[in-house]
Structure 1
Amino acid sequence: MMKYLALLLPLITACTSYSQQYRDQYQMATVTSAQPVYRTIEVHKPKRVCEERQVVKRHADSAAPAIVGAIIGGALGNAIGHNSSNKKVGMAAGAVLGGAVGHDIGKQNGTDVMHHETVCYQAGTEIEYQSVIDGYQVTYQLNGREYTTLMDRDPGPQMPVYVEPVKSR
Structure 2
Amino acid sequence: MINTTELFLAAEGESQNPLLPQWYDIIWSLVAFAVVLFVFWKYVVPRYQKVLDERRETIEGGIERAEAAQAEANASLQAYREQLAGAREEAAQIREEARTQGTQIISDMKAQATTESDRIIANGAAQLAAQRQQVVSELRGDVGRLSVDLAEKLVAAELSDEAKQAGTVDRFLAELDDVADETAK
Instruction: Judge same fold: TM > 0.5, yes or no.
Output: no
Q: Which of structures 1 and 2 has the larger relative contact order (alpha carbons within 8 angstroms, sep 6+)? A: 1
Q: From the two aligned structures, give the one with the greater strand fraction.
A: 1
Please identify the structure whose Cα radius of gyration is greater.
Answer: 2
Q: From the two aligned structures, give the one with the greater helix fraction.
A: 2
